[in-house]
């Protein structure tokens, strides 16, 4: 133990501190704090203590002088000296009191400062503990994230492997099915050949027996005996030997064989043919169709069903009856928003492009996609059925157009289209694509080569082909619609209107079902309709949409039109 003596004005004390080498850490901390306090107080009050000591010495000297003067009457000072001495002594005493008061004030201030220091140190310790806990949580979270990422990568690799195996097995199964069908056709042909040979042999034998019977003069009983029952093609015997009647042989007729997809072309539904489309004039129903903005809309070929696709990753189906949209169901399965929608010509399947770099196909009786076509590296901006319904064409922002075989659910051809593809239309032998480099390109799908380019004044946002397949409609960011003559492969007419503005890079413009009008949505929330024969604006439907109109659709019956916007609203228009 170590002993420390501390001297302060008016008080003395002795404190015993433990040996720092043998004391505990907290004790050593207290000792260091006490030493620091003593040092700090000694420095602050050093001048006061020296002044106080000097005053004490002067007081002692004054007392000695006074005592000597009292004891020596000869040296006793005068009354004036005594009065001056008393005055000086009083002043010194007053100063001593003032200094003592200042010492008390300084002590109080130091105690407050030490209290604040102690509180601050406690708060700092709490914050450091919280910091340590948070660092530990961050470390645990980081470790968990790394573990989850590792599991995710493993599962993704496994999924890709299994997907590749699945595709290979599907291709293998398709090949096996084709081989089996081929073998069955060969077996049926061989069986037909054997049956025909057997039939000809029986007929030849019967003819020969009849000739022999006719050359001999026999009675009726012998003739009936000579023409034995087993040789007749119209009779046969059962196991017990009884003669049974047999139906006459008919020539073998080869049956048509094939899978269900091949019959689609024969049984294809013929859609409605619109003779005269009616220009809509008023709203008959409005509904907030999705949770987020709507990007695409399409009528079925029968005009009784409407499909809308939005940023909320689903396609919703609506029945149209009594001039209203009635919710029918939801098709989900896309991982991101829907970019385009198309019905097949029979109205039984829906094809959609998605922001998740894929195209999906649903049957109307199933909410789960039947096919998911993956292979693009950026979003699929457009997806179309080809006329034979066995193939699908997709365009993407990755500057490619892909052709897919639905029997194998695989890509059979990839066309490099040189620029961001915003929309496509297609037929049996050609594909037309619109691009951000302000060009429309015509592609020969058999040779995957570009046969024609049509330059425009702005980025192409959509394409549509007329009902007679003679004209092509394009919408571009130069606030205009262009009508291209497919026979001449050059623009024929441009359509503009005051107030019309293309609202986005995916704004859709369409033909009316009779090919007499054009319709497109504008950034101001209006729907603009032009007359093709006059080139003038027919009507403008305003003050219903709150935001930019993304797409419009015209029913094949020509009776209804639907427009959709970025604020999830779908509006049904008619002239009734």
| Alpha carbon of residue 355 to chain centroid | 6
Rounded-to-integer distance, Cα 234 and Cα 227, Å: 13
Contact 434, 421 (CB under 8 A): yes
The mean pLDDT of 25-52, rounded to a whole number, is 80
Least confident of 250-254, 282-286, 399-403, 502-506: 250-254
Query: Does residue 314 or residue 79 have the better pLDDT?
Result: 314
What confidence category does residue 255 fall into, taking pLDDT thresholds of 50, 70 and 90? very low
Percent of the chain residues topping a pLDDT of 90: 49
Rounded-to-integer distance, Cα 488 and Cα 80, Å: 136
pLDDT at 21: 52
pLDDT at 43: 73
62 CB contacts (<8 Å, ≥6 apart)? 85, 88, 89
Rounded-to-integer distance, Cα 501 and Cα 496, Å: 9
Rounded-to-integer distance, Cα 222 and Cα 213, Å: 9
Select from 179, 172, 177 the least CA-distant residue to 410: 172
Rounded-to-integer distance, Cα 517 and Cα 86, Å: 122
> What is the domain range of residue 566?
282-574
Give residue-wise pLDDT tens across range 431-448: 999 999 999 999 987 777
The mean pLDDT of 508-529, rounded to a whole number, is 94
Sheet holding 527-531, edge to edge: 509-511, 517-521, 527-531, 537-541
State how far the alpha carbon of 446 is from the alpha carbons of 413, 415, 454, in Å: 10, 11, 21
Look up residue 24 and give its DSSP letter: -
Look up residue 17 and give its DSSP letter: E
Percent of the chain residues topping a pLDDT of 70: 83
Burial of 304 (0-12, 13-18, 19+ CB in 10 A): middle
Q: What residue ranges in 417-487 does DSSP mark as E strands?
A: 421-426, 430-435, 439-444, 449-455, 460-465, 471-476, 480-485
Least confident of 74-78, 279-283, 328-332, 444-448: 74-78
Query: Does residue 209 or residue 424 have the better pLDDT?
Result: 424
Query: Does residue 44 or residue 321 have the better pLDDT?
Result: 321
Q: Please measure the distance between the N-terminal and C-terminal CA atoms of the chain and give it in whole angstroms.
A: 107
Pairing assessment for the beta strands 471-476 and 430-435 based on DSSP bridges: unpaired
Neighbour count for residue 233 (Cβ, 10 Å): 14
Q: Is the pTM of this model over 0.85?
A: no
What integer best gives the mean pLDDT of the chain? 82
State how far the alpha carbon of 157 is from the alpha carbons of 153, 160, 330, 411, in Å: 6, 5, 31, 21
For residue 72, being part of any structural domain is answered with no
Least confident of 62-71, 213-222, 498-507: 213-222
Residue 488 structure tokens: 């001449």
DSSP codes of every residue in 290-355: SSS-EEEEEE-TTSSEEEEEETTS-EEEEEEETTEEEEEEEE---SS-EEEEEE-TTSSEEEEEET
Query: Does residue 93 or residue 2 have the better pLDDT?
Result: 93
What confidence category does residue 232 fall into, taking pLDDT thresholds of 50, 70 and 90? very low
Q: Residue holding tokens 């107030």? A: 499
Rounded-to-integer distance, Cα 480 and Cα 503, Å: 12
CATH code assigned at 514: 2.130.10.10
Query: Does residue 42 or residue 125 have the better pLDDT?
Result: 125
Name the domain count of the chain.
Answer: 1
For residue 528, being part of any structural domain is answered with yes
For residue 568, being part of any structural domain is answered with yes
Beta pairing partners, 227: none
Sheet holding 460-465, edge to edge: 460-465, 471-476, 480-485, 490-495
Select from 508, 429, 422 the least CA-distant residue to 473: 508
Select from 338, 293, 292, 298 the least CA-distant residue to 315: 338
User: Would you call 178 helix, strand, or coil by DSSP?
Assistant: helix
| Alpha carbon of residue 163 to chain centroid | 21
DSSP codes of every residue in 505-534: TT--EEE-TTSSEEEEE-TTS-EEEEETTT
What confidence category does residue 79 fall into, taking pLDDT thresholds of 50, 70 and 90? low
Pairing assessment for the beta strands 400-405 and 410-416 based on DSSP bridges: antiparallel
For residue 302, being part of any structural domain is answered with yes
The mean pLDDT of 348-354, rounded to a whole number, is 95
Is 1 a residue whose pLDDT tops 70? Answer: no
For residue 43, being part of any structural domain is answered with no
For residue 127, being part of any structural domain is answered with no
User: Apex CA 315: angle with CA 310 and CA 316, to 5°?
Assistant: 105
Rounded-to-integer distance, Cα 296 and Cα 250, Å: 57
The mean pLDDT of 317-341, rounded to a whole number, is 92
Pairing assessment for the beta strands 243-245 and 235-237 based on DSSP bridges: antiparallel
405 CB contacts (<8 Å, ≥6 apart)? 390, 391, 411, 412
Is 265 a residue whose pLDDT tops 70? Answer: no
Pairing assessment for the beta strands 517-521 and 471-476 based on DSSP bridges: unpaired
The mean pLDDT of 542-550, rounded to a whole number, is 91
What confidence category does residue 550 fall into, taking pLDDT thresholds of 50, 70 and 90? very high
State how far the alpha carbon of 571 is from the alpha carbons of 296, 357, 499, in Å: 13, 29, 20
Contact 66, 107 (CB under 8 A): no
268 CB contacts (<8 Å, ≥6 apart)? 345, 346, 389
For residue 405, being part of any structural domain is answered with yes
Contact 482, 456 (CB under 8 A): yes
For residue 193, being part of any structural domain is answered with no
Rounded-to-integer distance, Cα 522 and Cα 370, Å: 35
């Amino acid at each position: 133990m170590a002993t420390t003596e501390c001297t302060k004005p008016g008080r003395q004390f002795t404190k015993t501190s433990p040996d720092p080498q043998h004391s505990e850490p907290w004790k050593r901390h207290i000792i260091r704090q006490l030493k620091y306090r003593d040092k700090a107080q000694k420095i602050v009050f050093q001048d006061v203590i020296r002044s106080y000591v000097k005053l004490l010495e002067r007081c002692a000297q004054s007392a000695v002088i006074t005592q000597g003067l009292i004891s020596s009457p000869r040296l006793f000072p005068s009354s004036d000296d005594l009065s001056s001495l008393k005055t000086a002594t009083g002043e010194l005493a007053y100063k001593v009191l003032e200094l003592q008061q200042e010492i008390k004030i300084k002590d109080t201030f130091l105690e407050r400062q030490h209290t604040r220091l102690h509180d601050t140190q406690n708060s700092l310790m709490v914050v450091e503990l919280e910091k340590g806990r948070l660092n530990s949580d961050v470390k645990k979270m980081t470790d968990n994230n790394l573990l989850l990422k590792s599991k995710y990568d493993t599962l993704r690799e496994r999924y890709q492997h299994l997907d590749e195996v699945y595709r290979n097995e599907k291709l293998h199964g398709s090949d096996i099915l084709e081989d089996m069908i081929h073998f069955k056709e060969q077996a049926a042909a061989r069986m037909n050949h054997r049956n025909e040979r057997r039939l000809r042999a029986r007929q030849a034998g019967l003819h020969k027996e009849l000739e022999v019977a006719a050359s001999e003069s026999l009675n009726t009983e012998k003739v009936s005996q000579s023409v034995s029952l087993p040789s007749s093609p119209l009779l046969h015997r059962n196991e017990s030997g009884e003669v049974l009647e047999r139906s006459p042989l008919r020539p073998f007729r080869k049956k048509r064989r094939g899978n269900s997809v091949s019959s689609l072309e024969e049984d294809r539904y013929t859609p409605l043919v619109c003779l005269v489309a009616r220009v809509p004039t008023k709203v008959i129903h409005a509904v907030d169709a999705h949770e987020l903005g709507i990007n695409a809309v399409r009528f079925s070929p029968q005009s009784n069903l409407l499909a809308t696709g939005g940023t909320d990753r689903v396609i919703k189906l609506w029945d149209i009856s009594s001039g209203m949209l009635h919710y029918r169901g939801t098709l989900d399965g896309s991982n991101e928003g829907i970019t385009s929608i198309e019905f097949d010509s029979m109205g039984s399947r829906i094809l959609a492009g998605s922001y998740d770099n894929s195209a999906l196909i649903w049957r109307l009786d199933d909410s789960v996609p039947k096919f998911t076509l993956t292979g693009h590296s950026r979003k699929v901006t457009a997806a179309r059925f080809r006329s034979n319904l066995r193939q699908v064409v997709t365009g993407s922002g990755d500057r490619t157009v892909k052709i897919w075989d639905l029997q194998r659910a695989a890509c059979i051809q990839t066309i490099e289209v040189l620029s961001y593809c915003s929309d496509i239309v297609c037929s049996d032998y050609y594909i037309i694509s619109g691009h951000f480099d302000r060009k429309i390109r015509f592609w020969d799908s058999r040779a995957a080569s570009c046969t024609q380019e049509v330059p425009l004044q702005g980025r192409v946002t959509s394409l549509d082909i007329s009902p007679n397949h003679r004209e092509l409609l394009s919408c571009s960011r130069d606030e205009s619609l262009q009508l291209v003559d497919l026979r001449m492969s050059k623009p024929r007419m441009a359509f503009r209107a005051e107030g019309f503005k293309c609202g986005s890079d995916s704004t859709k413009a369409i033909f009316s079902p009779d090919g007499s009008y054009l319709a497109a949505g504008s950034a101001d929330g209006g729907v603009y309709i032009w007359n093709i024969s006059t080139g003038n604006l027919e009507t403008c439907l305003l003050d219903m949409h709150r935001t930019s109109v993304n797409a419009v659709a015209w029913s094949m019956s020509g009776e209804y039109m639907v427009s959709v916007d970025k604020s999830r609203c779908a509006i049904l228009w008619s002239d009734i």
